Chains A and B, each alone.
Chain A
């Protein structure tokens, strides 16, 4: 028998090969019980080997939660069963992938996964249902074509993303690709990046105004800028730190308005050192870089980084890549020929051309987007796409954060033939980068933390919107919808025009999948503003939410008014009133059982698969009522924030958390007095110390939102701080709902 290790030894870089061999040994050691499961868990995560839903060895099958009797009895991490199939994430720096790499990815997906390649919202690929013993061979096959899974997950520097049109975009200052590549190569496995409390995400963008790089929502982001010095054009970066989505989003702060290229690598290294040294380690909930920057303040953070930078030992790699910059560039496969518009075009071409094709800055060339439903394509399609790429563009293929591919350097005259070839392989969907092109995280399909089915909802919305895209108003067509399966924001719902994140509510005594409707996000300006939730609506009514909001926009917008400006002008009160009746009046379970199921799932909805306890107890109407009251208060806080009444907004958000916690306390202590000190004391004693309020994965994070606000008093009267408190209050109330649904009956005392 041949094996991949021997077969590919000459083609795999020696250090990568050695690391994979070590990982293979670690797998064996863990199987023998000679490697601690916690250490092994982080080890495998840093190799991109991730857990999947149901790997805790249990699953709710629609009737009850049952044990999945995996044979080995081994564990690959705390509560993670060895035999459970898992996910493998594959890093694709700046999304750049060649046809040869696509061929190997296709083969690997076919042989070890399920024949599906999934493109993520950070330009990675993911394979699902992979057995851990097979991951070293997968890694070897990928390594042989220059792809690594190293640090694709875990507390490490994740995939470095960049605009997929870098180098060909007419709006960019300059091509960020070689810088993104140099930084990715430099940081991969760097000793200064091995001691983080959480992951670090880095993005590059070629300009300030567009969305592609999404710099403002990243831990570290670099936007290309140029200026003239002594009559000479020089390149640099507007360099940002401390952004991030997650449960409570933070806009990145400007670290340096013009960071010279020779400082890009050392400054990032210095940040890694400061973060490794001062970042939170014990409490995951506050361990991202954004918390450290917020805690220290950007000025103090900058001072510490510059101090660190001054003492860094010199490294030739900081600048060696700059010598290669003049030679960097892509050579088009074909010469540029303009599209002959007088020729008859294939059916569907005009629509596809309109939405999926963008002219490059190089005359006669275009970028064509290959839209993937839910970011998925089959191995067979991948191989054929590689052939299409070889025929039209050579190596110029990239993945996008909108879970698509782009083919760059398409000679315009080739576009009709390219379209026909894509159509033959089922990859000619139009509507790329429009409302139809809904982005979603994996959600309850495969993610352990998912609450509602983000992919199910995204598919439903895609199908419905695609049907009417032809008669859609252009202003609506250009909106973005993004869906996350829970508050963790992997679907990037905060930066969509219309975003959704999954949660649940108890209605008529049953748990019902819901989505929070998030409005006010800004996709442009590198994710320049984050939206806020306006209300939780049952999943099955979300398509109606989209209809109502978009119809209202079409009918009531002012001339040329953007959706963001429109929602800001009419205000959250009016927007909420559009959906208010969808939030209540659930049909009886006997009449509409499907209302109580999630999209694409015929099982009764449950939170049990997420690991939280189950309770099918009776609904105490007054409790629901009280929690709804708390939700109303947090909404009013948003309205006050809109009016710039920061202190009042802060007080309302705080009040809403107090109200929700008092509601829970009343389950055990009905006559609990109202003074905040008493409420917080009782809440701490009954729900925090006992961990009753704890989320299975977020642990005590949500409780701390109340405790911190109570202890430290009002947050600073500025929009960012109040925005964050309101987000926290909303999450606190969601957690209160979840906690309530877990409480056993008859807890009144």
Chain B
């Protein structure tokens, strides 16, 4: 299956202490320096007024980054919008890598240092394709091996859980959690 529109969310650790407006100048400076590899960074959009919304959006040609607060869980969401190449595992690796890049940059931001860390034991994969990957057990079975491969690469071990979110109106989405705290 030629699955394309994939998203990854990495979650902020609980001692997270950054207000949404603080991301605005940071994202503008990333655009100035085109800081994210393989991405054309375009603009910043502010949605902090939307409760549990995308927060501050960094728009890129290849995909958008947002300081997402959906379900009350702050994190960094990478939403892939342009074509992904390779096998499904390779595509998952590509989006994971893109998300990780931004997370590392945020953690290294001198202005934010010490105030934001991201949990490397947990990530969420979302498919923005309800037609080809509905939120069903069948889809979960289909995704299982590729997700496991990608998770193995991410955690560098094989002890993790893949839990599908079950609300039928949601997109297919999986919580991937390491069983070994790092």
Mark A residues whose CB is within 8 Å of B.
1-4, 7, 53-54, 59, 61-63, 68-71, 83-85, 103, 107, 110-112, 114-116, 128-129, 131, 373-374, 376-378, 380-381, 383, 425-426, 445-446, 455-456, 459, 462, 600-603
Contact = CB atoms under 8 A, between A and B. Distances in A.
A378 B24 contact: no
A112 B128 contact: yes
B40 A68 contact: yes
Contacts of B113: none
B47 A376 contact: yes
Given A59-B42, A85-B59, A383-B169, A1 B52 contact: no
B46 interface: yes
Nearest to B53: A378
A539 B5 CA distance: 39
Contacts of A112: 5, 128
16 contacts: A1-B2, A7-B131, A107-B169, A110-B171, A111-B5, A111-B128, A115-B54, A376-B49, A376-B50, A378-B50, A378-B52, A380-B52, A381-B53, A383-B169, A446-B45, A602-B28
A603 B27 CA distance: 11
Given A1-B2, A115-B53, A129 B131 contact: no
B157 interface: no
B50 A377 contact: yes
Given A61-B28, A83-B61, A128-B45, A116 B40 contact: no
B1 interface: yes
B24 A602 contact: yes
A2 B25 CA distance: 42
A602 B82 CA distance: 28
Interface residues of B, number: 38
Interface in B124-178: 128-132, 169, 171
A111 B130 contact: yes
A70 B61 CA distance: 8
A54 B42 contact: yes
Contacts of A71: 40, 61
A84 B62 CA distance: 10
B14 interface: no
Contact of A459 (B2, B28, B49): B49
Contacts of B95: none
Contacts of A84: 42
A456 B47 CA distance: 11
Contacts of B46: 445, 455-456, 459, 600
Nearest to A55: B42
B120 interface: no
Interface string B59-99: 10100101000110000000101100000000000000000
Given A116-B47, A129-B45, 18 more contacts: A1-B1, A2-B132, A54-B43, A70-B40, A83-B61, A84-B42, A107-B130, A107-B169, A114-B66, A114-B79, A115-B70, A129-B57, A131-B81, A373-B49, A377-B50, A445-B46, A455-B46, A600-B24
Contacts of B169: 103, 107, 383
Contacts of A116: 47, 50, 53-54
| Shortest beta-carbon contacts, A-B, top 4 | A426-B51, A602-B25, A373-B49, A111-B128
Contact of A2 (B24, B31, B50, B131): B131
A489 to B, nearest CB: 23
Contacts of B129: 111
Contacts of B1: 1
Contacts of A61: 28, 31-32
B58 to A, nearest CB: 11
B28 A114 contact: no
A387 B17 CA distance: 33
Given A1-B2, A114-B64, A378 B70 contact: yes
Contact of A114 (B2, B57, B82): B57
Contacts of A68: 40, 42
B51 to A, nearest CB: 3
Given A1-B2, A85-B42, A380-B70, A129 B130 contact: no
A658 B110 CA distance: 54
A378 B59 CA distance: 17
A118 B149 CA distance: 38
B50 A373 contact: yes
B79 to A, nearest CB: 8
Nearest to A602: B25
A131 B59 CA distance: 12
A357 B46 CA distance: 29
Nearest to B21: A600
A654 B66 CA distance: 51
Contact of B52 (A69, A426, A600): A426
Nearest to B126: A110
Contacts of A7: 131
Among A2, A445, A603, max chain B CB count under 10 A is at: A603
Contact of B49 (A54, A374, A446, A603): A374
A459 B20 CA distance: 14
B140 to A, nearest CB: 18
A61 B71 CA distance: 33
Contacts of B2: 1
A92 to B, nearest CB: 20
Interface in B24-40: 24-25, 28, 31-32, 40
A7 to B, nearest CB: 6
A281 to B, nearest CB: 34
B50 A114 contact: no
Contacts of B45: 114, 128-129, 445-446
A62 B21 CA distance: 17
Given A110-B128, A128-B45, A129-B64, A378 B54 contact: yes
A388 to B, nearest CB: 14
Nearest to A376: B50
A84 B60 CA distance: 9
B7 to A, nearest CB: 9
Nearest to B64: A114
A601 B56 CA distance: 12
A376 B81 CA distance: 21
B51 A381 contact: yes
Contacts of B40: 68-71
Nearest to B25: A602
A261 to B, nearest CB: 41
Given A111-B128, A114-B66, A62 B32 contact: yes
Contacts of A374: 49
Contacts of B5: 111-112
Given A111-B128, A376-B49, A381-B50, A59 B66 contact: no
A645 B20 CA distance: 53
